[in-house]
Amino acid sequence: MDDLLVDLQAIFRRVFDQDELVITPSTSADEVDGWDSMAHINLIVAIEKKFGVRFTASDLAALSGAGQNVGNLLGLLAGKVDRGGGNQT
């Protein structure tokens, strides 16, 4: 999952236009300047494009509760990504 975190960090830096942004599994939206609902949509779209996956409505709903963080997103993404070359949705 460390490789996924590195890839996600690059996406976060691009989406939030913050070259020095460092994310960890415990990073939440409250800790990232500009992480609002529109930025969240842009983030999800960028992740879907990068990894060739699709998040369902229930996936997105699971990410929207209190206490959600990058670690939850990583877990969801890891379940969808086949690092061997193929992708699954």
Cα 66 to Cα 86: distance, rounded to the nearest angstrom: 32
54 belongs to a structural domain: yes
Domain that holds residue 20: 2-80
Going by the DSSP 8-state scheme, the letter that residue 31 receives in this structure is G
Give the pLDDT of residue 62: 87
Average pLDDT value for the chain = 89
How many separate domains does the chain show? 1
Q: Is residue 87 a part of any domain in this protein?
A: no
Contact 25, 5 (CB under 8 A): yes
Q: What is the CATH number of the domain that holds 29?
A: 1.10.1200.10
Decide if 23 is inside a domain.
Answer: yes
Inside any domain, residue 86: no
Residue 15 lies in a domain: yes
Write out pLDDT tens, residues 15-31.
999 999 999 999 999 99
pLDDT on residue 1: 55
Domain assignment present for 88: no
